[in-house]
Amino acid sequence: MVWARYKHIINDYKSMTTQQHTLKESASISGVGLHTGNLSTITFCPAPENYGFRFVRTDLPGSPEIPALADYVTDISRGTTLTCNDARVHTVEHVLAALSGLQIDNCRIELDANEPPVADGSALPFAEKMLTVGLERQQALRNFIVIEQTVRYTDEQRGVDIVALPNEDYRITVMVDYNNPALGSQHSGIFNLEKEFMTEFASARTFCFLSEVETLHKQGLIKGGSINNAVVILDRDITQDELTAMLRGIGFTDEIMLGSNGILNNNHLRFKNEPARHKLLDMLGDLSLVGAPMKAQVLAARPGHAANIEFAKKIRRTVAAKKTNVQAPAKSVPQITVAKSVLDINAIMRAMPHRYPFLLVDRIVELDAEVGHIVGLKNVTLNEPFFMGHFPAKPIMPGVLIIEAMAQTGGLLLLGAGEPLENKLALFVAINNAKFRRQVVPGDQLLMDVTMTSKRFNTFSLKARGYVDGQIAAEADLTAAIVDANK
């Protein structure tokens, strides 16, 4: 239902992998804070490029700003609290998860109290409100934190293990393990924010166990909690009378039934593994505090706010120690020197059987046969024969020929890197995950970056990307085989 309602808006920002985005206009939600119980209104406002996320306490003199960075986390008691000087804001994770899930880069988050509204205990109300006003594409390219080497955080005492692995996209997989028959062990994973966040994760609600309720109340927390904004799971035997007396003792006045499905009031889960999905949602929000979207595969066992924040701080320290981990723009053009050719057109023609009008590589400017990496160039001019029919009034290089150009570049890598293998051909046997991000037109220089990802006997897997002016134009996973040319 959510996807259908906002499909037209979500489709509009599928190019978000390259450019920064903010909101088209402001959007507000009012309600009660989960832990403080304070009434508040949160307003999501457009922000300039490279602004990031900043909370603004409009109820305090001077409207102080609190940057949404792990360095400003001061408390993780059942939520994430940010503090800058004397300004503080509690329980920011669901707000940040909504922003991150929608791949928004810049937002001024105005708040007239010290905690955002809890709404229904998920990130969905925030995300829906932002989608109703729409997203604005900005000119600046996105900055990414690229995980190039494994980053790990472990808390053996709590059984927590979080690891970030190199990956071209941002993925999170979470496993939680509860000694409770209503939940048991659960896991969940998000692999595509555009397709999965709104439909599969934004609506996952916060939860707690009944045995925690009294303790949390004694700690001064959950003052705004209710059966309508949290899932309360039974984890001990209790009668209806005992339950009523306990809840009355801590100020709950609503009529609450013991239920028969292991959850108070027989509240039904929105997903069978809703607790695991909510843990992932919390992690998505907490990890936004690294300061930029990530390119990584994050695997987490038994995560919580404390572990999430320590992990985010570790990533920030890693980035600070090695500034090259920050890449801009997304999938940006490889940093190479193109003044000299590794292989000129004559060397390419000696290595490749292709000829006019199907030779689509003009120059090889980087080549590392040992690691399996090659970069080639194709100068696209109006004289290309395919422009006569595609299209005469608006010449555009066909996507299939962009793939072919990348494939030929990969073929040069496989065919001995310029030292042709006698009587051998590189034949491409599969193309997967092909995506076209922008048009290639006369006057463009198509830069093709191809990396070998695996080898099995005479079959090779390649990751190919084509760039124009630093922006990705196309990408695909290719499979090729070296065969005997005489057969």
Residues facing 29 on adjacent strands: 42
Dist CA 363 CA 121 (whole Å):
56
Spatial contact of 121 and 202, defined as CB atoms under 8 Å apart: no
Active site residue 390: yes
Q: Which residues partner with 53 through β-bridges?
A: 107
CA atoms within 13 A on the CB side of 74: 12
Q: Could you say which of 187, 354, 373, 390 is catalytic?
A: 390
Closest to 24 (Cα-Cα) out of 111, 94, 115, 102: 102
474, 437 Cβ separation under 8 angstroms:
yes
Locus of tokens 């360095």: 71
CA 123 to chain centroid, in Å, comes to 16
End-to-end CA distance of the chain: 55
Beta bridge partners of 190: 172
Residue 246 and residue 87: Cα distance in Å, rounded?
A: 35
What's the chain's length in residues? 487
Has 305 been annotated as catalytic? yes
Give dist(CA 173, CA 276) in Å, integer: 10
Q: From the candidates 35, 90, 305, 354, give the one annotated as an active-site residue.
A: 305
Residue in this structure with the two tokens 């925690």, named with its chain if needed: 212
Q: Which residue in 130, 94, 134, 99 sits closest to 115, CA to CA?
A: 94
DSSP string, 12-73: HTTTTTTEEEEESS-EEEEEE-TTT--EEEEEEE---TT--EEEEETTSTT--EEE-SGGGE
Burial letters 160-179, b for 16+ CB under 10 A, else e? bbbbbeeeeebbbbbbbebe
Q: Among all residues, which ones are annotated catalytic?
A: 305, 390
